[in-house]
Structure 1
């Protein structure tokens, strides 16, 4: 498998996932340049992603984009890691729901809010920060993590924007405690060190 990655981007959570699954040394990581929100960077012709984004996973003839899909695919490839409920297992529906909810609701709401684009029409379709906070709280009232008492790929994905944008963290003690548990994972420290090395090599 080949993962196209750029340091300190959304792709970094996929590097953390590789660490969690024991795949970091088994996947070829191709470091590419991407256009960034501050106007820096550029599209990299070496990037296989059709839109020049990251992450992008290639596994033979399979090309997978969007983190929710990549996370699900990699977890299914490594069921022995126990990092997500497999097809037919209890909790599978909740896991898939969080993968889709993150991509289809959470990230659009966060981006629209940051850019000041969250109109009434947008809110009627995607809802807003308060509804996302309520969804998180409902799940965390049932356990330490989104799927219960065990950290999973759902926590890694859903927590990632809050760890990147602390000003977006809700003023909720239960959610803050969950984020602290997520932030303490060794995989995140490993990813930060790896990305820092890449940045140093690129400058």
Structure 2
């Protein structure tokens, strides 16, 4: 059986939402662990096999998968019938993977830098700047309801998450706000919020 190491209200919440969306709750054992929090609470949990004590961490027998983008690809490839990923050979496979890697390599770093108000020309030259990222999302979502077109995907789940998490603490656009609202208005989101807050 697959095992996911999860800490409530953390980056691993995205993966618990994915598991809910995919209907895999009976096929994945979710182990709640503690992690060190930014406010100084929590701590490393000896039950968590992640080499750095982080979450999410997915274990499938002898295979260990870390980082949200990698876990999303792993699960959506393993269970393609969910329709939340794009399998090899699908005409949207490249776009799907591009959004997942864009999130990990561009969106999250520039969002964190914007939130903590750190900027430098070298950062913007290599990672891009926050406004460029917003423009890219706004252009795509101004033409279609989700990143890959008409249907919600795991790419939407991952990429919309920080906007929901940070709320109005980060600049956005009406188009992006509407997309985030669509992505949050899902039964899986409500179930996971209830689980994490219980």
Query: Which TM-score bucket, shorter chain as reference?
Result: over 0.9
Instruction: Say yes or no: does 1:126 pair with 2:124.
Output: no
Structure 1: unaligned runs, 5 residues or longer: 198-203
Give secondary structure in 2 for the equivalent of 1:165.
helix
**CA distance in structure 2 between the aligned counterparts of 1:34 and 1:53, rounded to whole angstroms:** 7
Deviations 1:32-60 (A, max 9, x none): 10001111111111111101110000111
SS of equivalent residue, structure 2 residue 197:
helix
Corresponding residue for 1:99?
Answer: 100
Contact persistence 2:134–2:172 (CA under 8 A): no
Could you tell me which residue of structure 2 aligns to residue 63 of structure 1? Answer: 64
Q: Within 2, Cα distance between the matches of 1:143 and 1:6? A: 33
| Residues 121-141 of structure 1, C-alpha deviations (whole Å, 9 max, x = no match) | 111111111011111112213
Distance, in Å, in 2 between the alignment partners of 1:138 and 1:94 is: 15
The answer to whether 1:51 aligns with 2:52 is: yes
Secondary structure at the counterpart of residue 58 of structure 1: strand
Map 1:1-203; keep pairs closer than 5 Å.
1-197=2-198
Aligned residues, how many? 197
**TM-score computed with the length of structure 2 as normaliser:** 0.96
Compared with structure 1, are the counterparts of its residues 173 and 116 closer, same or farther at alpha carbon in structure 2 (3 Å cutoff)? Answer: closer
Report the CA distance between 1:166 and its aligned residue: 0.6
Which ranges in structure 2 are unaligned for 5 or more consecutive residues?
none
- Normalised by the length of structure 1, the TM-score is 0.93
